[in-house]
Amino acid sequence: MKSAVLLLPGLNRDRDMIAALTRISGEPPVTVWQTETEIPDVDLIVIPGGFSYGDYLRCGAIAARMPVMEAVRKKAQAGTRILGVCNGFQILVEAGLLPGALMRNASLKFVCREVLLEVVNADTVFTGRYGKGDIIRCPVAHHDGNYFAAPDDLKRLEDRDQVVFRYAKGTNPNGSINDIAGVVNEAGNVLGMMPHPENLIEAAHGGTDGEALFAAALEIAA
């Protein structure tokens, strides 16, 4: 399956993401600049991490209003798989493609370390290669990963199994409500997550727990 990576000024995890997708799918993703209004026909669109527009106004706020995001919205509505990691997650919530908001970490500190994630919903196109309840390792690196949703929205998310990843007990790095680390939209084709699975996909990274996410999303033969 083919993939695309969005490029916006200030993102800095795009190269890691391109390397991960290339390694896992055997084919480099196409790259799409922020001013593009059309995205080529691909199966997975990834918005990588970083600090788009210097995190001005709010993280992801300016990026979410760039022309390319209208194209992402259309692709999302058509069922294309969309993955936002870290700043990519912030951009997806700012664009209204995922519910909630990502606020300053409760500690007020930038966190850069490995956490443990519980796979809460293994029944998505992104997590089908994990088992429900699996605990996987994943690095985080962010200042604004404190997920918030209003009580009604939070209940809806939980009731509809839209919480895909939670920080495993005792590893919540940012004060995120209900330990939420990643959520999917109602249709199940848009996933946003703060941790970086692209940074744990080969032995040299010290582990490969992130590989299964991309392998599932790209339907790579096991």
Partner 1 sequence: MIKARVTVTLKNGVLDPQGKAIEGALGSLGFEGVDQVRQGKVFDLELESADPKNAEKQIADMCEKLLANTVIEDYAVELL
Short-list 90, 88, 95, 102, CA closest to 49: 88
Could you confirm whether 198 is annotated as catalytic?
yes
By beta-carbon proximity to partner 1, the closer residue of 173 and 197 is: 173
Residues in contact with partner 1, counted by CB under 8 A, come to a total of 21
- Given a contact cutoff of 8 angstroms between Cβ atoms, the answer to whether 6 and 197 are in contact is no
Residue position matching structure tokens 């998310």: 157
Could you confirm whether 59 is annotated as catalytic?
no
Sole binder of partner 1 in the list 25, 121, 146, 199 (CB under 8 A) = 146
Strands 3-7 and 30-33: parallel
Q: How far is the CB of 217 from partner 1 (least distance, A)?
A: 26
Helix (H, G, I), strand (E, B) or coil at 141: strand
Tokens linked to 64: 């979410």
- Given a contact cutoff of 8 angstroms between Cβ atoms, the answer to whether 127 and 193 are in contact is no
Sole binder of partner 1 in the list 25, 80, 87, 105 (CB under 8 A) = 105
Sole binder of partner 1 in the list 29, 84, 100, 188 (CB under 8 A) = 100
By beta-carbon proximity to partner 1, the closer residue of 50 and 99 is: 99
> How large is the C-alpha radius of gyration of the chain?
16
Sole binder of partner 1 in the list 41, 132, 150, 169 (CB under 8 A) = 150
Q: Does 98 bind partner 1 (CB under 8 A)?
A: no
Tokens linked to 158: 């939980």
Which residues between 39 and 78 bind partner 1 (CB under 8 A)? 57-58, 61, 65
Sole binder of partner 1 in the list 19, 103, 111, 122 (CB under 8 A) = 103
Strands 180-184 and 30-33: unpaired
Strands, E, within 13-67: which ranges? 30-33, 44-47
Active site residue: 59, 94, 143, 196, which one?
196
Active site residue ranges:
86, 196, 198
Q: Point out which residues bind partner 1 (CB under 8 A).
A: 57-58, 61, 65, 93-94, 99-101, 103-108, 146, 148-150, 153, 175
